[in-house]
Amino acid sequence: MRVHLFGRHAECEALDRALADAHAGRSRALYARGEAGIGKTSLLDYARTAADALGFRVESATGMESESQFAYAALHQLCAPLLEYDATMAGPQRDALAIAFGTKTGPVPDRFLVGLAVLNLLAEAAEERPLLCLVDDAQWLDRASAEVIAFAARRVSAERLALVVAGRDSDDDASAAFSGMPVLTVAALGEADARELLAAETATLIDASVRERVIAEARGNPLALLELPRSVGPATLASGFDVHDRPDVPQHLEQAFRQRSTALPSETQRVLLLAAAEPTGDVALLFRALSRLGIEGSGAAAAETAGLFTIDSKVRFRHPLVRSAIYSAAVPAERRQAHEALAAATDPRIDPDRRAWHRGQAVLGPDEDVAVELERAGERALARGGMAAAAALFQRAAQLTPDPALRTQRAMTALQAKHEAGAADEALKLLALAAQGPLSPLQSARLTLYRAHITFYLVHSDDVPVMFLDAAHALAPLDPAVSREAFLLALNTAVIAGGDVRGVAEAARAAPRPPEQPRPLDLLLDGLVTVYTEGYVAGVDTLRRAVTSLRDEELSRDVYRGTDSDRWLWLASRTAVALFENDLMYDLAARKVTIARTAGAVATLYVALIALSAAHALRGELSRAAELLAESTAIARATDAVPLPHGELFLAAWRGWESDLPELHRRSAGAADKNAGTEVAVANYASAVFHNATGSFATAMTAAQRAVESDDFSVQSVALPELVEAAARAGHAQAAREAHAQLVARAHASGTPWALGLAARSRALITPGGAAEDDYREAIERLGESRLTGHLARAHLLYGEWLRREGRRREAREELRTAHDMLTDMGAVGFAERAAKELRATGEHPRARNAPPSTALTEHELQIARAVATGATSREVAAMLFLSPRTIEAHLRTIFRKLGVTSRRQLRELHL
């Protein structure tokens, strides 16, 4: 029987359409979003009832605030009933899921491999019978579960699967993971629907003035409409009562639930508190804990009769606010007693981590035994890739440690994990705890280093390099290896924040000598110090050795424990840009993203995604760059990280979108100070690229000059060719020649196709007469070897422009057509329009070309088609692209139809 929901016709229709599509093999995912009590859970109940009527299998999970630190807790709720299908998965996927769920030991599972395992698990279950997955209270999902469920939701396509997630309006980490999913907004009820709901659900006679006050105060929130009248007696409802102005409806509800629970008999309250303290909903566990407290089963029945929770296959509260209201209403001693009973009732062999957590909440003061147990649980969480869970467990372990020295050590461990998990504010609190000491000189120096890390994550001030220098000098006699790391951090942050880069580089000369076998970071430090004190050419060889060894070295995947190379991959990727090393740039950036994802290190992932986005943008893969930036932005919003607009500026410049121009101007407005940092340097570079694209060469020249004058030598490298082009076209020959001389010096020191190609292209711009042609041809040849589609296309554009001015229109058209096609395909609107304008000047209007078969496909379809054309099976392609085999098959049917083929053999013959 269908559930009737007042005022939810449109929302129910949307759910019905999603179920109908899923039943027909067109997977659907929805994110129902709204405030607490607005009716999201009721809509999930509606979907469950509707799905049952259609023959769906229904599985569900509910986020729980007290479980938000346990990695994969919610995912286990959702997937445990489906593990019968795990035999169909590839071995690595099956192992990754088993390690994530704690049923098998092994190295930290790759988060994407877990996601692929879940995707295939859901797809296999849906093959047998249509499947509906319901996830409630997404705001309280643990981060690992949220990311994996969102991963699956974004990739379902051709399965008989519907996935509906419900969460509050919030910017928390878990909710942010679902950004990009189709949203079903659950808004307040209209006044007419609110009146109808109140009349239908309230049996007691309500005074007219009271009714109006309830409707006004509830503000269309269904749960408020029902609970506010229940919080007072029938006589008051009939005669009127005073309603104060409280704008926060969820706070109203929690207060109402608290009043209802505290009015119950004491034994019933104890049952409710026990259930509220154990969020898994495990009925057997609840009854074991009740037995520990001497409460009979009839006590649970009385609590159920109160209407605040139900017991069936699980313990379910009427609303999540009931749980929080009951828990917060209890005094600390009562909470500790509940957790003690739950710890005693939890099997340490089956669920040691949850037992440790309950024990940690049960003790009143310091307790070393419990602290050790929590620390071990934190280590296990870390091994599963649960950085946030590990941080919470380490934090509680530190708080319970009686020995001051050991407490300091554990607090430092916890604050590093908190920082890596993106919880900078919590890390600062732990920093204060650790600072209470006692501190050894080494711990004091490390604490200074952590404070610099956290401060830099929150705000890029020019005080941060000094903080890193202080730590580096203090560490020099105590831990030379870490001291060198701190010097490198000081130099890097000075470049980014706009500090005294030359001064920091000079100070770094005092760093302890590197070991006999220098690490990649040692080479990186020495090379950068050389560049900033002696010049680019002097440091190139050392820096190339550093970034090459970083790429080739087998890196540790454990970011929390990582003491060496993995944390320097972002800096190494930027350094590779300065060296014009395209493959190194991309490989290092991609590696950093992989490691950060695996470890769940959000603070690291945020920055790594920006670097990888810039690498994709330089390679002409602008759509992929945009996807990475969207993910990075969501992380920044969820963790309050200091905004880093570098990637957005980079992408906007190459796209050449007119709507982004005001922002670019704003970014570069204060760029007169050449030490203003990487943000301004990138803004100026972006402005130079944008205005070169649109032919505003004088403006481009000014921006490029400022970028070249910055202290970020990676920005200097990419800005020099922009300056040559802008100055040459703006009629400033001397400035163009000077910039070209700097570029040539770097190109010869680098020796890569990227560098030599840009040098040749720039030389052609300042070479008079016919002699320039050889330079243009050399530029096209060398850049063709570099995989940098954007710069190659621009070389064709410049050559075509030169040919047109030389009066060689037919040849010019060929080059300009090539440039226009390439730039249009990559989405570089500004440069594509410049090529179109030049084509029109030759007497030819840009027109749709006779496209190869591949152009009928989307970028995603082309990727699948090319993989299948190599002979890969659907299951192999699905593993490569993190999709399900059924989705690959559905895409293949579309690909075959678009290309007019009927078999994989014919697909191979097209040479896509």
- pLDDT for 38-86, tens place per residue? 889 889 999 999 999 999 999 998 887 767 767 788 888 898 888 888 7
- Strands 309-311 and 315-317: what pairing? antiparallel
pLDDT band at 754 (very low <50, low <70, confident <90, very high): very high
pLDDT above 90 for 661: no
pLDDT of residue 204: 52
pLDDT above 70 for 757: yes
pLDDT of residue 161: 93
* Least confident residue range of 44-48, 60-64, 364-368, 403-407: 60-64
Rounded to 5 degrees, what are φ and ψ at 884? -90, 155
Provide the edge-to-edge strand list for the sheet that holds 183-185. Answer: 57-62, 131-136, 161-167, 28-33, 183-185
pLDDT of residue 660: 56
Whether residue 822 contacts residue 619, with contact meaning beta carbons closer than 8 Å, is answered with no
Say what angle helices 208-218 and 222-230 make with each other, to 10 degrees.
Answer: 140
Is the previous residue joined to 853 through a cis bond, with omega within 30 degrees of 0?
no
pLDDT of residue 717: 94
pLDDT of residue 554: 43
Instruction: Round to whole Å and give the CA distance between 374 and 414.
Output: 11
Angle among Cα 819, 822, 823 to the nearest 5 degrees reads 80
Instruction: Round to whole Å and give the CA distance between 444 and 464.
Output: 17
Instruction: Round to whole Å and give the CA distance between 892 and 253.
Output: 51
Query: How remote is the C-alpha of 428 from its chain's centroid?
Result: 22
* Least confident residue range of 261-270, 571-580, 720-729: 261-270
What does pLDDT average to over the chain? Answer: 82
Say if residue 484 is exposed, middle or buried (CB neighbours under 10 Å; 0-12, 13-18, 19+).
buried
pLDDT above 50 for 772: yes
pLDDT of residue 817: 92
pLDDT above 90 for 782: yes
Of 190, 186, 102, 194, nearest in space to 138 by CA = 186
Instruction: Round to whole Å and give the CA distance between 364 and 357.
Output: 14
Instruction: Round to whole Å and give the CA distance between 845 and 849.
Output: 11
Strand partners, 59: 133
What's the first-to-final CA gap in the chain, in angstroms? 53
Of 502, 873, 887, nearest in space to 710 by CA = 502
pLDDT of residue 243: 40
Question: Encoding tokens for residue 442?
Answer: 């080494």
- Strands 161-167 and 131-136: what pairing? parallel
Instruction: Round to whole Å and give the CA distance between 146 and 163.
Output: 13
Q: Which residue has the higher pLDDT, 409 or 3?
A: 409
Of 318, 231, 307, nearest in space to 268 by CA = 307
pLDDT in tens, 343-357: 999 988 888 888 998
Buried b (16+ CB within 10 A) or exposed e, 759-781: bbbbbbbbbeeeebbebbebbbe
Whether residue 437 contacts residue 402, with contact meaning beta carbons closer than 8 Å, is answered with no
Q: Which residue has the higher pLDDT, 11 or 157?
A: 11
Whether residue 154 contacts residue 29, with contact meaning beta carbons closer than 8 Å, is answered with yes
DSSP 175-201: HHTTTTSPEEE--PPPHHHHHHHHHHH
Angle among Cα 505, 509, 513 to the nearest 5 degrees reads 135
pLDDT above 90 for 217: no
Give the Å distances, CA to CA, from 551 to 112, 521, 547, 589, 751. Answer: 21, 12, 6, 10, 19
Helices (H) and strands (E) in the chain, counts: 47, 7
Q: What is the SS3 assignment for 78?
A: helix
